[in-house]
Amino acid sequence: MSRILILLLSAVLTLSACAAPPPSQPQLGADGKPLPKVYRIRAGDSSKIQFRMLDSINSLRAAAGQSPVQLNAKLNAAAATHSRDMSVQNRPWHFGSDASSPIDRVRRVGYEGNLIGETISETYETELETLAAWMDDSSTRKVILAPNARNLGFSWLQEDNGKIWWTLVMGN
């Protein structure tokens, strides 16, 4: 009997050692809220991120009764140029360091359609968290859900510290 009890106790102790450690507590900022975790974009994730954003936007557009948009390489190039330029300027705004506007940038890459709008962000958040923030703002939501939008350009630049400069351009 004592042998069975010893085996049973050994099994319980062995299994208890396999239990997952308690979750670590998130670090809190001065405001008492959890500090954001850095979202790292790996080199091979570019097309995944672009198509995840395209699918998400098209789902939102469908729910709003709008037609889908498609990725456009020229608008992607305009978005990439602006993301890089915002990082150089260290500020999120719609004008380039050369005083270019979003219209100037889409013309420079040879886009023949019309610019509908540009949405930008400076953040450490994922593309989908950024899209959610854009959808919470009436002016950027209007660009994303524009009835006449047919094309989408989406790109970013991630700095070494993890900060991401997102740019989304819509055209028709």
The whole model's pTM is what?
A: 0.77
Between 29 and 61, name the one with better pLDDT: 61
**SS3 of residue 164 by DSSP:** strand
| pLDDT at residue 163, as a whole number | 94
Which 3-state string (H, E, C) describes 82-146? Answer: HHHHHHHHCCCCCCCCCCCCHHHHHHHCCCCCCEEEEEEEEECCCHHHHHHHHHHCHHHHHHHCC
Tokens coding 9:
């106790």
CA 151 to CA 10: how far, in whole Å?
65
pLDDT at position 38 over 90: no
pLDDT at position 33 over 70: yes
Between 32 and 128, name the one with better pLDDT: 128
- Mean pLDDT across the chain, nearest whole number? 87
Q: Which residues pair with 167 in a beta bridge?
A: 120, 155
8 A C-beta contact, residue 112 and residue 81: no
